[in-house]
């Protein structure tokens, strides 16, 4: 069990190993809640509303994932040629 000290301005340092295990870095957000007398800290991802897929885009992505799962794919060079890049 790890122990941390609450410092001035209510700051708490989360041990490095825990941050690394969760893939958290400086500037990331966490959600803090109270549950049955315990403090629960949960990683949170903030999404810009402009970065959310439309229903049509979600459908295209789902179709692409299904194609990948079924083995329907082409190489990067072939795709670039097909797109004229």
Answer whether 4's CB lies under 8 Å from 14's CB. yes
pLDDT digits (tens, 9 = 90+) for 12-41: 999 999 999 999 999 999 999 999 999 999
1 in a structural domain:
no
Predicted TM-score of the model (pTM) = 0.51
Question: What percentage of residues in the chain have a pLDDT greater than 90?
Answer: 62
- Give residue 58's domain range: 49-83
Residue 2 in domain: no
3-state secondary structure of 75: coil
Residues 39 and 54 in one domain: no
Q: Is residue 57 part of a domain?
A: yes
Q: What is the CATH number of the domain that holds 14?
A: 2.10.260
Q: Is residue 3 part of a domain?
A: no
Question: What is the count of structural domains for the chain?
Answer: 2
- pLDDT of residue 75 exceeding 90, the answer is no
At residue 57, the 3 state secondary structure works out as helix
Please give the pLDDT value at position 2: 84
């Amino acid at each position: 069990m790890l122990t941390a000290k609450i410092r001035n301005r209510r700051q708490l340092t989360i041990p490095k190993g825990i941050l690394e295990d969760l893939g958290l870095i400086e500037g990331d957000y966490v959600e803090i809640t109270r549950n049955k007398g315990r403090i629960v800290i949960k990683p949170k991802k903030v999404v810009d509303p402009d970065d959310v897929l439309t229903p049509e885009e979600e459908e295209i992505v789902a179709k692409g994932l299904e194609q990948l799962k079924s083995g329907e794919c082409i190489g990067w060079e072939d795709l670039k040629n097909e797109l004229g890049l």
